């Protein structure tokens, strides 16, 4: 009887500990640039959500940067391209995805369409995270969102097709660096889901949103494209990759570039971008201590709990 009580108490303690640790740091985001050019990611926290360590930064080819988000955080990420910033004043702008701040940091401003957006609402404890990749504001760069360490459906989503190459002339932005949405191009209510078309019953897919959907089936193609475009996961960390393998850009499989990862103190450390197959190669060597990989916060919690349970059972 005492043994049963001990096991029950242990189980409850582990569940509480996991929920507590999950609540301290809800999720980590790692942004990877596999494009053949520099991307300047922008980050916008929604109203009421904490501002992350940066709101905009330069990310060279083959580099990455990571951020920790608190519980109940929501916001979006996107890539700016063709940026020029003065080395003395720091002022400048971007050809696509510009946030209008006249600086590398976006300082609370969002992307100017057209721009591919990765949107997140992070839960707390065992609550669901919601995430999507949206083309509602148009498209400027291939992007995919992958999960790690979570439970639930946790599917990858995004748009790996180079829509700039397929963009109709009437949606083309500038010299073809981006592709506008029909709403941005024409401004009519039926394309913008506004006015008399402001409900799911009245706003239907257009020939343009259907073109986006055919090329990127898991991405939002218009305002009411929820059913096939919103994804959920619990307790995950997220990787946002610009120009993932399979697009017209150079394949990431050609090399394993080194990456720059910024920790909570703002300093940078060198790491290696995970292999494309995302296989958790540290698992077989975990208990022997031979792993050369750094665990994500969520994975570290799980590993600690597993170690504790393992040692308890030995005794």
- Cβ(59)–Cβ(104) below 8 Å: no
Which domains, ranges and CATH numbers included, belong to the chain? 28-284 (2.60.110.10)
Alpha-carbon span 299 to 295, nearest angstrom = 6
Buried b (16+ CB within 10 A) or exposed e, 228-267: ebbbbbbbbbbbbbbbbbebebeebeeeebebebbeeeee
pLDDT at residue 292 is higher than 70: no
Residue-wise pLDDT for 158-215, tens only, equals: 999 999 999 999 999 999 999 999 999 999 999 999 999 999 999 999 999 999 999 9
pLDDT band at residue 57 using 50, 70 and 90 as cut-offs: very high
Token reading at 135: 């083309």
- Say whether 28 sits in a helix, a strand or coil: strand
The residue with tokens 């349970």 is: 309
On the CB side of 85, how many CA atoms lie within 13 Å of its CA? 22
Higher-scoring residue by pLDDT: 193, 299: 193
Residue-wise pLDDT for 96-116, tens only, equals: 999 999 999 999 999 999 999
pLDDT at residue 9 is higher than 80: no
H or E element that contains 192: helix 189-192
Alpha-carbon span 8 to 6, nearest angstrom = 5
pLDDT at residue 88 is higher than 80: yes
Most confident residue range from 106-115, 240-249, 253-262, 290-299: 106-115
Q: How much is the pLDDT for 245?
A: 72
pLDDT band at residue 1 using 50, 70 and 90 as cut-offs: low
H or E element that contains 202: none
Cα angle 16, 22, 24 (rounded to 5 degrees) comes to: 105
Cα angle 158, 163, 167 (rounded to 5 degrees) comes to: 145
* Nearest alpha carbon to residue 197 among 184, 183, 210: 183
Higher-scoring residue by pLDDT: 56, 257: 56
Higher-scoring residue by pLDDT: 63, 286: 63
* Nearest alpha carbon to residue 99 among 74, 75, 80, 84: 80
Cis amide leading into 114 (omega within 30): yes
Q: How many CB atoms lie within 10 A of CB 288?
A: 7
- Say whether 246 sits in a helix, a strand or coil: coil
The contacts of residue 86 (CB under 8 Å, 6+ apart) are 92
Alpha-carbon span 248 to 37, nearest angstrom = 13
Q: How much is the pLDDT for 257?
A: 36
pLDDT at residue 25 is higher than 80: no
pLDDT at residue 122 is higher than 50: yes
- State mean pLDDT over 64-85: 97
Q: How much is the pLDDT for 138?
A: 98
Say which range, 24-28, 89-93, 118-122, 229-233, has the weakest mean pLDDT. 24-28
pLDDT band at residue 2 using 50, 70 and 90 as cut-offs: low
């Amino acid at each position: 009887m005492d043994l049963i009580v001990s096991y029950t108490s242990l189980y409850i303690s582990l569940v509480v500990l996991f929920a507590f640790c999950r609540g301290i740091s809800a999720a980590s985001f790692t942004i990877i640039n596999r494009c053949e050019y520099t991307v300047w990611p922008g980050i916008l926290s929604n109203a009421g959500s904490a501002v992350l360590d940066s709101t905009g930064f330069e990310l060279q080819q083959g580099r990455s940067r990571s951020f920790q988000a608190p519980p109940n955080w929501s916001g979006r990420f996107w890539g700016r391209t063709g940026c020029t910033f003065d080395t003395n004043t720091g002022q400048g702008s971007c050809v696509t995805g510009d946030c209008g701040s006249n600086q590398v940091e976006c300082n609370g401003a969002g992307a100017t369409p057209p721009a591919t957006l990765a949107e997140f609402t992070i839960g707390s404890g065992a609550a669901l995270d919601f995430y999507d990749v949206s083309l509602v504001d148009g498209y400027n760069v291939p992007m995919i969102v992958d999960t790690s360490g979570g439970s639930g459906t946790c599917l990858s989503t995004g748009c790996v097709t180079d829509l700039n190459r397929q963009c109709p002339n009437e949606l083309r932005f500038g010299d073809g660096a981006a592709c506008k949405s029909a709403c941005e191009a024409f401004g009519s209510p039926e394309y913008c889901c506004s006015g008399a078309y402001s409900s799911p019953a009245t706003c239907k897919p257009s020939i343009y949103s259907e073109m986006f959907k055919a090329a990127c089936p898991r991405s939002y193609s218009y305002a009411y494209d929820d059913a096939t475009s919103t994804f959920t996961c619990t307790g995950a960390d997220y990787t946002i990759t610009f120009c993932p393998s399979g697009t017209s850009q150079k394949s990431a499989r050609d090399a394993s570039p080194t990456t720059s990862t910024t920790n909570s103190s703002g300093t940078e450390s060198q790491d290696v971008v995970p292999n494309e197959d995302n296989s958790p190669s540290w698992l077989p060597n975990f208990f022997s201590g031979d792993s050369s990989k750094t665990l994500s916060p969520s994975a570290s919690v799980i590993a600690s709990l597993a170690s504790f349970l393992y040692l308890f059972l030995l005794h």
